[in-house]
Amino acid sequence: MSLQPTQSDSKSAAIHGVNPNAIGQTQPPSPRTLPSDCQRKIAIAIDLSDESAYAVRWAVQNYLRPGDLVFFLHVQSTSVLYGADWGSIDLPQKNRDEESKLKPKMDFDDLTTAKATEFAQPLVEANIPFKIHIVKDHDMKERLCLEVKRLGLSAVIMGSRGIGASKRATKGRLGSVSHYCVHHCVCPVVILRYLDADHEGSTSDSTKSTCGEDDELDRISSS
């Protein structure tokens, strides 16, 4: 007896042109087993870094399964003056030159979308549907947790170099953010330690669960 895609499957597969009749043969089993009609919404937090690209590849190989819907969740940091949540403002004449900053910000929006699309290539190859969700806020940590709750996500995956807080702040990447999310997100958070050329001699496992900013990380069970 042949199996036909359900209406919910067709709706999910319509995102980004995924063929609803295709079977994700390249997708690995997930750590958990849920009813086939229960769709998980998995977020991968991205910040345009190598850590984020690694998180996507790891998720495809080790965590995602057929039927999952992936959200690329990106919070673009912005100043209070240009915060997206405060709407438009009238600038004084002496600060009119600030308007010149708007075009670079628009260009950065395009760059963010293009980079997220590039990161999504492993998902496309594995026939996993995804959405790109970009918001702006002056507080990256709190907004990320807020979006996780608002979207009703099942889990969040993010990358981290496992370096100190001062270096994280300098790089402006996920670090202190991942630490905050572990303690404040309403769903499970998977932290992946990204090992670059500076750590190529390390033998530690790259999949971690963070309990403190620089604490020893416990291995996440794959069962």
Quickly list DSSP for 19-81: -TT---TTPPPPSS---TT---EEEEE--SSHHHHHHHHHHHHHT--TT-EEEEEEEEE--ST
User: What per-residue confidence (pLDDT) applies to 79?
Assistant: 59
Residue 164 is given by DSSP the state -
Q: How far apart are CA 108 and CA 119, in angstroms?
A: 16
Average pLDDT for 28-32: 43
Hey, what are 187's tokens? 């769903």
pLDDT value at residue 222: 34
Which fold, 46-219?
A: Rossmann fold (3.40.50)
Higher pLDDT, 52 or 12: 52
Over residues 15-24, mean pLDDT:
42
Q: Sorting pLDDT into bands at 50, 70 and 90, what band is 33?
A: very low
pLDDT of residue 209 exceeding 70, the answer is no
Average pLDDT taken over every residue of the chain = 68
**DSSP letter assigned to residue 200:** T
**83-126 per-position pLDDT tens digit:** 344 333 444 555 545 555 555 555 667 878 888 889 999 999 99
Residue that has been written with the tokens 């889990």 in this structure = 155
- Among 35-49, 71-85, 87-101, 151-165, the range scoring the smallest mean pLDDT is 87-101
Segment among 74-88, 146-160, 205-219 with least mean pLDDT: 205-219
Of 31, 69, 45, nearest to 189 by C-alpha is 45
Better-scored residue on pLDDT, 80 or 125: 125
SS (H, E, C) 64-132: CCCCCEEEEEEEEECCCCCCHHHCCCCCCHHHHHHHHHHHHHHHHHHHHHHHHHHHCHHHHHCCCCEEE
Q: How confident is the model at residue 9 (pLDDT cuts 50, 70, 90)?
A: very low
